[in-house]
Amino acid sequence: MKQNKRVDCFACGKQQLSKDELGLNLKMIGREIKQFYCLECFAEYLDVTVDELLAKIEEFKEQGCELF
Amino acid sequence: MIYADNAATTKISDSVLEKMLPFLGEQYGNASSQYSLGIKAKCAVEKARQQVAVAIGAEPPEIVFTSGGSESNSWVLSSVSNGHVITSSIEHHSVLDACHSLERKGIDVTYLPVDSKGRVPLDSIKEAIRSDTKLVSIMLANNEIGTIQPIAEIREYLQGRSILFHTDAVQAVGHIPVIVKDLGVDFLTASSHKFNGAKGTGILYKRNGVSLPPMIFGGKQERGARAGTENVAGIVAAGYAIRESVSDMTAMADKLSAFFRATIYGIRAKIPNIVINGDQNNRLPGIINIAFDGVTGDSLMNLLDLKGICVSTSSACTSGKDEPSHVLIALGLTEQQAKSAIRISYGRYNTVNEVETIVDTICNAYNKILAAKL
């Protein structure tokens, strides 16, 4: 998936998900993901907190993951 | 947090930590020093050497302490200066990379295939042996799938030939009975942090009478075999940790085998199409490698991590491009299948409740991932 293409949240319709949000969806679900979630909806879907997802994003960045 | 990645490393035992701490504090002497503080450190190192030797059926002078399993493996492999080396295609990278280094120096290396369970076919050893074969290096138990290799049988094929035999037993020592004389090996590698010791201490068994030139120069430590100030605290930990692991090995193996069965049964009840990689019979009790249909191991691992559960995948994805496990590919899995696998490795401190939580969390995570792909 090209990250410069506009992607909205599948659940709430939030427009133009950020690179971090898209990267997190790809990282947690896989490259074949069809529906993307914003941070808030993804946290609800996975039953975790937004802060936990933000911490995870930072970890992936520190690992050097190019999805972020 | 639930830690289920004991093949990567283990939590140091409380009693072992207690034994090593004085050597990080007041007992900080250099084991080469000739005054009391140093002599006490030297005595502690020699006691650990005795403990390790007893645990694997060796003589104390046959034990050399190193910085870890990778150093021990590299040392043995790098000692080959000509001829031919035989190894397997599913070795740890510390062996494989050392073999690649040998190839760059013009030494031939044969990488034996494995069957679908990860076992090296005995016939393939026989066929690979050449008149100039100098070393055979086959791991005792695989770190990703837990399959145990027929080391003693391989030794029989080498009988009567002047071929040295090394086994990387990093995953096996402390978990299954490992007696060097029964295995018939010339060299054996072990690593303390894999059996609830401390990181930074490796073990190399070198059979009495076998020559192995030093890889590290600069002192007469380890009877001149390996220079460098001894990691006294780590070595002390290795001695007590191996003693502790061997003392309750049977009970621990029974416990981990029960966890293995409960995990597979529990997951299969909700996700019938999982595939268990490796040998179901000749295997380490604590390692489970499971391939899932339709998801990547990386995704599963990340979701489990969010829930506070530590497991691993065989592939390392740090830059958006992940490579499949060379071990799983060698078993005959496709790239996609190999990337769908996770490794759960139970250890001394896991509990039945943790196993149940792991099973439930894996099944939930799997369903979440699949649903998001629809």
Q: Are A34 and B299 an interchain contact pair (Cβ–Cβ within 8 Å)?
A: no
Respond yes or no: is residue B310 known to be catalytic. no
Q: Give the CATH number for residue B40.
A: 3.40.640.10
Structural domain that includes position A37: 1-68
Tell me whether B335 touches chain A (CB under 8 Å): no
pLDDT bucket at B29, cuts 50 / 70 / 90: very high
Residues of B in contact with A25 (CB under 8 A): 372
Asked if pLDDT for residue B318 goes beyond 80, the answer is: no
Average pLDDT of the residues of chain B:
96
Structure-token pair, residue A62: 């520190």
Looking at the fold, whether B116 and B229 belong to one and the same domain comes out as yes
Q: Is the dihedral of CA B159, B154, B330, B135 positive or negative?
A: negative
What pLDDT is recorded for position B321? 54
Task: Please say which residue of B213, B247, B281 terminates a domain.
Answer: B247
Tell me the sheet residues that pair with B205: B63, B188
> CB contact, 8 Å: B162 with chain A?
no
* Claim to verify: residue B55 and residue B192 sit in the same structural domain: yes
Provide the shortest C-alpha distance from residue A24 to chain B (in Å). Answer: 10
Checking if the pLDDT of A3 tops 70, the result is: no
Tell whether B336 is covered by a domain.
Answer: yes
Q: Is B24 an 8 Å CB contact of chain A? A: no
State whether B191 and B314 are in the same domain. no
Kindly state whether residue B2 falls inside one of the protein's structural domains: no
Chain-chain contact of B318 with A65 (C-beta, under 8 angstroms): yes
Range with lowest mean pLDDT among A59-63, B233-237, B315-319: B315-319
One domain, residues B260 and B175: no
Of the candidates B274, B270, B263, the residue with the CA atom closest to the CA atom of residue B346: B263
pTM reported for the whole predicted model: 0.95
Are both B221 and B315 inside the same structural domain? no
Q: What is the pLDDT of residue B315?
A: 56
| Residue A17 distance to chain B (closest CA, Å) | 16
Beta-carbon separation of A34 and B373 below 8 A = yes
Q: Do A30 and B298 touch (CB under 8 A)?
A: yes
Report whether B28 contacts B44 (CB < 8 A).
no
**Which candidate from A31, A45, A52 shows the least CB-CB separation from B368?**
A45
Residues B169, B233 within the same domain: yes
Would you state the structure tokens that stand for residue B270, as one six-digit string? Answer: 């909700």
SS3 B138: coil
CA quadruple B102, B106, B108, B109: dihedral, nearest 10: 20
- Indicate if B253 and B195 belong to the same structural domain: no
Query: B24 and B171 share a domain?
Result: yes
Using a CB-CB cut-off of 8 Å, the residues of chain B touching A30 are: 295-296, 298-299, 369, 373
User: Which residues on B lie below 8 Å from A3 (Cβ)?
Assistant: none
The arithmetic mean of pLDDT across residues A12-17, rounded, is 95
Instruction: Indicate whether B206 and B67 sit together in one domain.
Output: yes
- Which residues does residue B112 pair with via DSSP β-bridges, in sequence order? B88
Residue B316 has pLDDT above 80, yes or no: no
Q: How confident is the model at residue A4 (pLDDT cuts 50, 70, 90)?
A: low
Compute the average pLDDT of residues B285-314: 95
The domain in which residue B355 lies consists of 249-373
Distance from the Cα of A56 to chain B's closest Cα (Å) equals 8
B143-183 confidence digits (pLDDT tens): 999 999 999 999 999 989 999 999 999 999 999 999 999 99
| B223 and B327 housed in the same domain | no
Kindly tell me if the per-residue pLDDT of B249 is higher than 60. Answer: yes
Q: Which of B303, B340, B361 to mutate to test the interface with A (most CBs of A within 10 A)?
A: B303
Task: Tell me if B290 is assigned to some domain.
Answer: yes
The CA–CA distances, whole Å, from B314 to A60, B169, B343 equal 18, 19, 7
Of B287, B289, B283, B331, which is closest to residue B150 (Cα–Cα)? B283
Distance from CA of B173 to the nearest CA of A (A): 32
| Cβ-count burial B314-327 (b if 16+ within 10 Å, e if not) | bbebeeeebebbbb
Q: What are the residues facing A58 on neighbouring strands? A: none
Q: Is the pLDDT of residue B348 over 50?
A: yes
- B320: confidence class by pLDDT, cuts 50, 70, 90: very low
Give the residue-averaged pLDDT of B66-94: 98
CA separation for the pair B246, B252 (Å, rounded): 10
The runs of H, that is alpha helices, within B113-176 are 122-128, 151-158
Domain at B280, CATH number = 3.90.1150.10
pLDDT of residue A5: 77
Q: Count structural domains, chain B.
A: 2
Q: pLDDT (tens digit, 9 = 90+) per residue, B177-235?
A: 999 999 999 999 999 999 999 999 999 999 999 999 999 999 999 999 999 999 999 99
pLDDT > 50? residue B130: yes
Instruction: Judge whether B7 lies within some domain.
Output: no
Check pLDDT > 70 for residue B319.
no
Q: Is the pLDDT of residue B11 over 70?
A: yes
Of the candidates B296, B320, B321, the beta carbon closest to that of A30 is on B296
CB atoms under 10 Å from CB of B148, counted, come to 20
Q: How many domains does chain A have?
A: 1
Choice between B317 and B158, residue whose per-residue pLDDT is larger: B158
Do B230 and B263 sit in the same domain of this protein?
Answer: no
Q: What is the pLDDT of residue B342?
A: 97
